[in-house]
A and B are shown apart, each in its own frame.
Chain A
C-alpha cells in the first residue's frame, strides 16, 4: 500500500498566520491527492482535490501544491474556524490511504 506521511503532526499558530502542512507519498501518486479538514465530532470535508483544485465553497485562503510524491496545503491567513485536523489522502491506488493527520491548534 502507498504510505502517506504528513508533517508536522501538530502545529500551534495564531489567527492571521500563514501555515503550511506537508504530505509525502511513498511512491508517485501523480496529482491524485485530496486534502480534508475535520473538526471534532464532524465528518471530514474536502478542501482541495487533484492536488491543487479548490473544492466548491472553500475559501481562497486554502491552497494546495505538488505532484508526484510531495504535496503541501497552505492556509494564507488563519481564521478562527480553521483550527481543526487536516488529512491528506491518495486515490492513485485502488487501496486508498490517508495521512495520519495534522492537528492545528490555537497558540
Chain B
C-alpha cells in the first residue's frame, strides 16, 4: 500500500500562473482533505471531501478549487497563483465516520514568485 501520494513534491510558479496538485489514496477512505502549513500558523484546512461527489470549504478556501475525481483522487487547483499561496500543501485521507486516523501525504512545497 502506498497510502497517500501527492504530486509534485516541489513547484515554483510565477504570479498569475495556474497549477493542479494531485492526491491519491489507496486505503478506501471516504474522506479526503487539503491543508496548507505555514510557519507559526499550523495546519489550516483549505477544502475537504467527506465522500465521493461532495466537497466543502474549510478555513482558508479563497483562491483554490478542488475536484473529487473518484473515491481515490482529490485534486487542488490554483487558478491564478499569488505569493500569499507560497506554502507546504498536504493532502490527507480518513478521519471521519469511523476512520479514526487521518493519514497524510508527503506534501508539496510550493513557491510563488
Co-assembled chains A and B: no
- Residues on A lying within 8 angstroms of B by beta carbon are none
